[in-house]
Amino acid sequence: MSSVAPSETEILKVELEGELTIRSITELRERLLEALKSGRAVVAKIADDAVADLTFVQLIEAARRSAQAAGQAFALAGPATGPLLETLRRAGLLSAPTQTEFWLMPTGEH
């Protein structure tokens, strides 16, 4: 079965920047929930210099899985870089092929 990429109007972009940590996780969760409730494909654009901890990684993983369960697309706009990439490496989250594919080879708009 082939999949068709959503058109630009079917994509909801969510810009995530600054401190993406436990201190801001409630606000980030609400933003992602709103985006997912739209029913549109969601593309998360994470700033290269964003400071991210494991709570943020868990939130993104939960959003990805929720979207998948609902048959909704969820992707990153670009590969994880900077502090986020370092957090993923330290946590050992890049060893599984599906994790590597999601975090380092996103299918969202670049």
Q: Residue 27 is part of a domain; what is its CATH number?
A: 3.30.750.24
Q: Is 48 left (phi over 0), alpha (psi -120 to 50) or beta?
A: alpha
Domains: count for the chain: 1
Over residues 50-97, the pLDDT tens digits come to 999 999 999 999 999 999 999 999 999 999 999 999 999 999 999 888
What is the domain range of residue 26? Answer: 8-104
Q: Which strands make up the sheet holding 41-46, listed edge to edge?
A: 11-16, 41-46, 74-76
Inside any domain, residue 109: no
Residue 18 domain-assigned (yes or no): yes
- Evaluate whether residue 64 is within a structural domain: yes
- The answer to whether residue 110 sits within a structural domain is no
- Residue 6: DSSP 8-state: P
pTM of the shown model: 0.85
Q: Is residue 40 part of a domain?
A: yes
Residue 3 forms part of a structural domain: no
